[in-house]
A and B are shown apart, each in its own frame.
Chain A
């Protein structure tokens, strides 16, 4: 019986297949599509955005170089300053709520109970459903005349007059923060839950044998082990919240009286609404230092993890 030995192939293989065995060449070919798309639609727009922000370009007018004028103009604009402050306020509180509630839900879901998978799947729904669509449901619930929340609180005897959900600027901001929390909290809960599940239950048992109560077990055992994943989740969430657009666009449109704008919605209003591309680009670039700082922190942290 004949045994089919692997024949020496290299000699018969076409040039192309052989050269694909060269690691560098293969790497270049494999990376090309991704790098090409990212270069054309991220790197190029970024450079162009910087150029636009330094020019007086508007729709239908190529404009000319004006230096930092757009940035200075934005900084002098009281609406922009409000928007800039709002962005920090919104990001800070939404992140605090998402983290604390998300942690709570993760701890609840980390137990064993019947229907756990179903509950977990249901809890993630706000994160799946398009933000614009769910924000409409909230907007309807906050409607000045037909709010179901006002109705419920009124019938329960808790309020005597309507609450000004979206008609008062402070209320509107907190409404936006609550919706953002509602939408983003599942992301925290599920990722933290995944982190919790990697913690060895023996550690908890050992701690409770040593007489630690639930709170101390959380603080001294769970939290230190959960810190790395928490940090990463917070970074992602901060970036998304800081650059949020759709929620405010649908909920208040920046109103009442331009008091709830975020940097992104105001950049849209100036850049797309009013067609002042240069000024709009400058406004959105105000987000860059903060995003840069957060990304830099994240990279440094990752490096430290790899180094350790």
Chain B
């Protein structure tokens, strides 16, 4: 019994605690830096410090500076709007395409499924240069539409894939019953199948939302005016001047920019996990 307890500590509690600390420390440090006054922040690494992992004079000055210096609330709104719109478009396309691939028989179904899967694996960094040209051609540069229309390139394949898997788990009989009762195929799809698929739709939506919130390279290249930017790009381009990093404001911005997505995530953890694990299922 004593040996058992010893083993449990060494093989379970201690490693798990270390993993948790390692995972969360950067966020804690973000928070402490954001509320630490500048004179404490920029002190030599060898200086005596009474409270290295905490601050004795917490301040909101960095948050105030952030709001005064930049259009941070605008960035938040832009990021939110773009994430919601591109998630909406992707869910719409993914629902229809996923249903067709899971349920309908038509020529080339296999080939189409495979090519959507392949586009799923095309990383944004492969295509950003020609895509920037196309955005310019379409006169979409520096508008939110540049992102709302390009984010679906990595969200649609994912949503289609996830929802296709979900539709396959719904018994065909449900639909057949509805059709015997006189519903059209489209009616059965919209009124019978889609409501059953709501958990799948939520999972795909939450996951897609976090992916769009996270996106960086397209936003970096397609947007140029400060008030149009998303949070990650705004933080990078407006809070660094040459070699000077405004660390307090940077961390305040990072914290505020993470909160919305962390909140969405915390309300829907289970759906998110389903989306995450579903995203890799073959």
User: What's the tally of chain B residues with a CB closer than 8 Å to chain A?
Assistant: 99
Helix, strand, loop or mixed for chain B's interface? helix
Q: In the complex, which of the residues A108, A124, A187, A264 contacts B125, with contact meaning CB atoms closer than 8 Å?
A: A264
Contact between chains at B122 and A42 (CB < 8 Å):
yes
Q: In the complex, which of the residues A23, A45, A147 contacts B130, with contact meaning CB atoms closer than 8 Å?
A: A45
Q: Per-position contact with A for B260-273: 1 when CB-CB < 8 Å, else 0?
A: 01100110010011
Contacts of B156 in A (CB 8 A): 34, 37-38
Contact between chains at B130 and A130 (CB < 8 Å):
no
Contact between chains at A48 and B130 (CB < 8 Å):
yes
* B193 touches A (CB below 8 Å): no
Contact between chains at A288 and B15 (CB < 8 Å):
no
Contacts of B152 in A (CB 8 A): 37, 41
Q: Which interface class (under 10, 10 to 19, 20 to 34, 35 or more) fits A?
A: 35 or more
* B61 touches A (CB below 8 Å): no
Given A111-B12, A154-B45, the answer on whether A133 and B153 have CB atoms closer than 8 Å is no
Q: How far is the CB of A302 from chain B (nearest CB, A)?
A: 5
Q: Complex formed: what's the CA distance from A298 to B182 in Å?
A: 42
Contacts of B130 in A (CB 8 A): 45-46, 48-49, 52, 281
* B150 touches A (CB below 8 Å): yes
Which of B25-33, B62-70, B168-176 is near enough to bind chain A?
A: B25-33
Contacts of A29 in B (CB 8 A): 96
Residue of A nearest to B256 (CB): A133
Q: Complex formed: what's the CA distance from A129 to B281 in Å?
A: 23
User: Which residues of B (209-250) have their CB < 8 Å from a CB of A?
Assistant: 210, 213-214, 216-217, 221, 231-233, 235-236, 245, 247, 250
Residue of B nearest to A305 (CB): B282
Contacts of B97 in A (CB 8 A): 30-31, 33-35
* A184 touches B (CB below 8 Å): no
Contacts of B45 in A (CB 8 A): 145-147, 150-151, 154, 162
Contact between chains at A123 and B42 (CB < 8 Å):
no
User: Which residues of A (61-111) have their CB < 8 Å from a CB of B?
Assistant: 101, 104-105, 108, 111
Given A20-B185, A26-B185, A137-B27, the answer on whether A41 and B282 have CB atoms closer than 8 Å is no
Interface residues of A, Cβ cutoff 8 Å to B: 6, 9, 13, 17, 20-21, 23-24, 26-31, 33-35, 37-38, 40-42, 44-46, 48-49, 52, 101, 104-105, 108, 111, 113, 117, 119-134, 136-138, 140-141, 143, 145-148, 150-152, 154-155, 162, 182, 186-187, 190-191, 194, 228-229, 232-233, 235-236, 239-240, 242-246, 249-250, 264, 267-268, 271-272, 277, 280-281, 284-285, 287-288, 291, 294-295, 298-299, 302, 305
